[in-house]
Structure 1
């Protein structure tokens, strides 16, 4: 009796990065809890067994989505911190954020804000993961501003931690407004006001 020769498993009939991009848009538009498995699989073009086999669960899928988001969207804003002065770094950060929140290749606003601020207790891990992502960005801002303070690049008396929190609060507030329909020009006008406030504090200390 001949023993059948084992055959390799069927290769995936989809591109994993493409379906992740589609899942990202669903989570972005509907939030974590609002994104049903039916909506996800329909948008991704795969069935539930394929979703489970590839990503494990809805929560694990979202974790992959958020990791990808952090790499492609939030990382662009954090590169602004390489600017040579604190003022330039803050401006570049806020300008890049405003551009990203109103870009044409994804829903308006911020995935980190829209996906999980109102999750129920059983999905607290999602809220915590999103908050940790925002905290990491704020920590990077604080680190950059602390270095500026050591180098004499911030006015005396300016608290780097408080300034980092202010910049993040403005960026996160812009995310809410962008999702509600605020335009890129309107967000940049708000950045102009914030930058004038920073410049006023600088000139006050210098005089």
Structure 2
């Protein structure tokens, strides 16, 4: 009979996520994880498998939370188009703000997708989930008369995701808040000119 675990799994996942997020997958050792969580190697492996299994579980949970949070933020905005542009520019008053270390999924995909099939699959899943969500918002905005009824929702959603990822890259590049604000304003102006009436 297995002995009951003497630690809170969710607390361990939260601490391990913070370490992976701060240092990246490759730079985070099992010793780093045991030191950070206070859970011994054998117990860590017994609960979560190896380091990679733990990382994938963390990434899956992160993606699920981000997707739900984005959907909730969009749903909370009375204007489908305003909610969408706020999401694209990370400018909704706090719910969608980027943390200093950027997006865990984007960071992980950039570092690992070329050699890690599971990370690549999660990145693709996140992309297509966001694409579907954005397409739904665009169709709602078309019905509301906020954007040109003739625009292609799928192509527009792809363009907006590309803008969103570019803004995140600029944020992480360290260009500073003033220049980031100018870049976001310029992107928003171009988006409005391209898609709204």
Moved more, 21-30 or 118-127: 118-127
Separation in structure 2 between the aligned mates of residue 143 and residue 92 of structure 1, nearest angstrom: 15
Matching residue of 2:87: 93
Q: Check if 1:22 corresponds to 2:5.
A: no
Structure 1: runs of 5+ lacking an equivalent: 1-7
Give the one of 41, 48, 51 matched to 1:58: 51
Give the one of 4, 13, 21 matched to 1:11: 4
When Rg is computed on C-alpha atoms for both structures, the one with the higher figure is 1
What are the Cα deviations for residues 23-53 of structure 1, in whole angstroms up to 9, with x where unaligned?
1122223333333322222222212211111
Structure 2: runs of 5+ lacking an equivalent: none
Give the one of 136, 139, 161 matched to 2:132: 139
* SS of residue paired to 1:34: coil
Q: Check if 1:31 corresponds to 2:24.
A: yes
Q: TM-score, normalised by structure 1?
A: 0.76
Q: Aligned pair in 2 of structure 1 residues 152, 39: CA closer, same or farther (>3 Å)?
A: same
Q: Does the 8 A contact of 1:138 with 1:168 survive in 2?
A: yes
* SS of residue paired to 2:110: coil
Q: Shift of residue 20 of structure 1?
A: 0.7
Q: Does the 8 A contact of 1:138 with 1:165 survive in 2?
A: yes
Equivalent pairs, count:
194
Moved more, 175-184 or 154-163: 175-184
Query: What do you get for the CA RMSD once the two structures are aligned?
Result: 2.9
Matching residue of 1:4: none
What are the Cα deviations for residues 126-165 of structure 1, in whole angstroms up to 9, with x where unaligned?
2221231232122211122134335544214322122212
Q: Does the 8 A contact of 2:167 with 2:184 survive in 1?
A: no
Matching residue of 2:42: 49
Separation in structure 2 between the aligned mates of residue 36 and residue 188 of structure 1, nearest angstrom: 37
Moved more, 110-119 or 65-74: 65-74
Matching residue of 1:180: 173
* SS of residue paired to 1:33: coil
Q: Aligned pair in 2 of structure 1 residues 159, 70: CA closer, same or farther (>3 Å)?
A: same
Counterpart mapping for 1:145-184 below 5 A: 145-150=138-143, 152-183=145-176
Q: Does the 8 A contact of 1:155 with 1:202 survive in 2?
A: yes
